[in-house]
Amino acid sequence: MSVSQAQPVVTAMPPHKVLTQSRERRREARFGLGMIALSVILVAVFTAGPILASFVLSFFSWDVISSPKFVGINNYKRVVSDSSVLHSLAVTLGLGIAIVVLQIVFGLILAVLVNQRRGNTSRVFFRTAFYLPLLASSAAVSIFMGYLFDAKFGVINYYLGLIGISNVPWLTTPIGAMVTVVLVAVWQQTGFTFVLFVAALMSVPTDVLEAAQIDGAGPFRTLLRIKIPLISPTILFAAVVAMINSMQLFDQPYIMTAGGPGNATTTMPIVMYRAGFQNLQFGFGSAIAILLLAVILAITGLQFLAARKLVFYQ
């Protein structure tokens, strides 16, 4: 008699035990649903609902005060032909890419340096110090950064003046404003990528590192050939999240430069805010929001496509 002909044990379970198991499963299901209910409700109310509402609104002309008028795809026609929206898309992409690249590079450098430190206390100190800016309100950060970078009375220009560099127009020239916005965003956001990279580097198997060392690889070669490929899934995750955040850049340019000078730092969220809340064109503003959502989805998709070739999964 072959083994495969053996009867399954489950079928032999007595009826009262089947009933108990079924009750147990229902209880677990209820518990599971209860655990995720709050998240589902919050996502539905504060994320899915507004997205759906924005999508519906994008087909209407509505100034919030009078009754909305259905205008079909007119808002979308306007979005794709409005030079200020298209310019803001270019600005958002440019600033976003710069912020993400710098965030990844600085996050990685800092993580490598901190991981090389032997003392646990100093590691904890640096981890906390680099992560702290992320906890601060970006509006508050933007206000005090605006003062620091002010060309007339800013502390940064004061110290630069002491070494012979005078009156750097940080916020009053297009290039200066873009650089400042990127620097401030990178300063505040790098803590996020830094913490991810610290954790990822710590999980790199020591036997692989030891093998590389025995084979004569130096620290830089080990970083490039061993550590970075092994943490590439984390780099992909960090890049995707950072890009999504950067595409929604609002506080820093709105507070520090008011989107200027001219519209040099006017991002899509600023154009969207102005359209909706200042000019009371909520339909048009919603169409910009939907376009921004589509752009973010497309970029994220591209990042995942590129990851197929660049990311190494163990």
Partner 1 sequence: MNQFGSAVSRRSLLQAGGAGLGLAGLGTLAGCSKGSDSGSSSGTFKMLYFGDQKSADALKAKLAPEVTKLDSKVTLEISAVNGTDWNDFFAKVLTQIASGTAPDIVGVATEGVQLMASKDLAIPLDDYVKKDMASMKPYFDDVHPSLVEAMMYQGHLYELPSDFNCGNMFYSTKLFHQAGVAEPGPNWTIDDFHNAVEKIAKIPGVNGFDWVVRLWGSWTSFMYANGGNLLTESKFSGGDWLWGTAYAGNAAAAGRGGGYQWGAPTANSPAVVESLQYLIDLKKAGIAPSPDVGGGGTLQGLFASQRIGAAIGGGFWAGGLHNAGMAPDSFNVQFFPKWKSQRHLFGTGGYAIFKSSKKKDLAWEVLKVLAKPESFDIIAPGNVTTSAHKSLATAERYASTGPKNWKVFYDTLTEHPDTGPIPAPPYYNALATALNTRTTQAISTGDAKGALDGLQSDLEAASKAT
Q: How far is the CB of 117 from partner 1 (least distance, A)?
A: 42
Q: Kindly write out the interface string for residues 112-141 of this chain, putting x where it contacts partner 1 by CB under 8 A and - elsewhere.
A: ------------------------------
CB 282 within 8 A of CB 62: yes
Residue 260 binds to partner 1 (criterion: CB under 8 A) = yes
DSSP 220-245: HHHIIIIIHHHTHHHHHHHHHHHHHH
Q: Give the binding-site size for partner 1 (rule: CB under 8 A).
A: 45
Kindly identify the residues of this chain, within the stretch 93-112, that bind partner 1 according to CB under 8 A.
Answer: none
Q: How far is the CB of 166 from partner 1 (least distance, A)?
A: 11
Residue span binding partner 1 (CB under 8 A) among the ranges 7-15, 108-116, 271-279, 291-299:
271-279
Residue 57 binds to partner 1 (criterion: CB under 8 A) = yes
Output 128 or 279, the one with its CB closest to partner 1. 279
For 133, the enclosing helix (H) or strand (E) is helix 120-135
Kindly identify the residues of this chain, within the stretch 15-44, that bind partner 1 according to CB under 8 A.
Answer: 44
Residue 279 binds to partner 1 (criterion: CB under 8 A) = yes
Angle at 114 between CA 100 and CA 131, to 5 degrees: 55
Residue 90 binds to partner 1 (criterion: CB under 8 A) = no
Q: What is the DSSP letter of 216?
A: T
Q: How far is the CB of 96 from partner 1 (least distance, A)?
A: 21
Q: How far is the CB of 294 from partner 1 (least distance, A)?
A: 19
Which residue of 107, 253, 259, 269 would you call a contact of partner 1, by CB under 8 A?
259
- The C-alpha atoms of residue 241 and residue 308 are separated, in whole angstroms, by 17
Token look-up 């921004």 returns: 292
**Phi, psi at 64, each rounded to 5°:** 75, -25
Residue 45 binds to partner 1 (criterion: CB under 8 A) = yes
Residue 161 binds to partner 1 (criterion: CB under 8 A) = no
Q: Which residues neighbour 14 within 8 Å (Cβ) at sequence distance 6 or greater?
A: none
Residue 314 binds to partner 1 (criterion: CB under 8 A) = no
Residue 52 binds to partner 1 (criterion: CB under 8 A) = yes
Residue 173 binds to partner 1 (criterion: CB under 8 A) = yes
Q: How far is the CB of 181 from partner 1 (least distance, A)?
A: 14
Which residue of 18, 37, 48, 297 would you call a contact of partner 1, by CB under 8 A?
48
Output 73 or 298, the one with its CB closest to partner 1. 73
- The C-alpha atoms of residue 31 and residue 102 are separated, in whole angstroms, by 43
Output 227 or 274, the one with its CB closest to partner 1. 274
**Phi, psi at 61, each rounded to 5°:** -105, 120
Output 62 or 192, the one with its CB closest to partner 1. 62
Residue 277 binds to partner 1 (criterion: CB under 8 A) = yes
Point out which residues bind partner 1 (CB under 8 A): 44-45, 48-50, 52-54, 56-57, 60, 63-72, 74, 150-153, 169, 172-174, 258-264, 266, 274, 277-282
